[in-house]
Structure 1
Amino acid sequence: MSAAETGGAQVKSAVRTVELLEYFAGSPGMHTLAAVQEAVGYPKSSLYMLLRTLVELGWVETDATGTRYGIGVRALLVGTSYIDGDEVVAAARPTLDRLADDTTETVPLARLDGANVVHLATRQAQHHLRPFTRVGRRLPVHSTALGKALLATYDDERVRELLPGTLPALTEHTITDREKLIDELAAIRAQGYAVDREENTLGLRCFGVAVPNRTPARDALSCSVPAARLTPAHEQTVKDALFDARDRLTLATRTL
């Protein structure tokens, strides 16, 4: 085998490993070999050997029978190290604390990841009725205030490159037409904030702002409020607090 062929095989193996870990990351729980093979499409024999190697290294775990597979603890360690070492996350801690105090609601910091946003940090609401959120949560850009706020920092052609013409519906309120979403992005640019009107989760409204410490932006802040608790006065409080938080975080990260 030539050096080029060996290098190609090594790259292919690395790509398969990453794709497999991403499959487990996006599919919580334990899965049979057949289910994994159907999802990733690799030959069964090579998939089995790859899984066994990842199990031995701690990146994949098996159940008591050794026939079902899921993400391993080493993936958590890598994810945690990413967050622990991120300068924006560190700089955002005081801003998130103050935003949570000012709004009394759940407030995440998220980062753009292709056609999704990923929560990097969060503060939970002070109310019993509150949305569930966690670090590492991955959500579509088109159905979230965080995502729409970030998309609004891109030009329309780049948005068309990022998103398909028809977008998946998460609720009956989700915008599923890309051109309609692009029309909304123009309004977001003008007003400076985005709104998720129960587009990602029924009963939940969210407001989001991009952090303009780079162009286009890659990080955003949001505030999630159960629709049953959202009054016009509280909505204005949330918007004002988000604008203040955006400015504080932009200033804190201006040299990063």
Structure 2
Amino acid sequence: MQDIPDQKSNRRLPIGLIAGLSALMVTGGSAAAFFAWQSSVRESREAPWNVAASQDSEGNEQPPSVAPSGKALPPSSAPIQPSQKTEPKPAPATVEQTAQIFYFKDVGSELELTAIPFKLKSGDTTEAILQGAIETLLADVPDSTLTSVIPSGTQLLSLKVKPDGIHVNLSKSFTTGGGSASMMGRVAQILYTATSSNPNSPVFLSVEGKLLETLGGEGLMLDQPMTRQKFETDQREEK
């Protein structure tokens, strides 16, 4: 009776074959991993940058912004404006205000009241302008063709521009010397110079703080306040 071969022994593989298959399986897995790594490297080389498209506030597509390392730049919120140089503003021109100083000029048979411009810089008040004009009038005569009948040494003690008119206060020298014609002439010089900025302003004339009612030894009467219109009317009546 012959022995029947053990079926289990036929299913066993030689040790050498098993070792060879194992090596092949290991080698095949390494190859698959290698090809997978090469594919990843190739893809990263073909597209190393991400391109991010943006839109403006009206929905129009903006040029793409490129970011390295796979990061997209945020869309620009506003266009960059070029810097502008600020030109320095020129200094405002100095404006001169003009008043007038009144002197007498010899025109042959009589003396004529003549206005001379008086300039001050912008920013001075009307009060300061008139004060400067009268102080100049009392100081000296600028031209040999002009003359003043105001007594030498007369000083301006104060000048105030008030709602009711212009208040002029002179020193006592204003009332000294001369006849009635000289008295009227000096009053005219003060009156017209004080009202050169506003010809319709009334003027209150005082001497040493006291309102002047009569002037000179002849007792020339002065109606206060004085105005140009009233003074001219009185002069016509006397003629």
Higher strand share: 2
Under a length normalisation based on structure 2, what TM-score does the superposition of the two structures give?
A: 0.24
Greater length-normalized contact order (CA 8 Å, ≥ 6 residues apart):
1
Higher helix share: 1
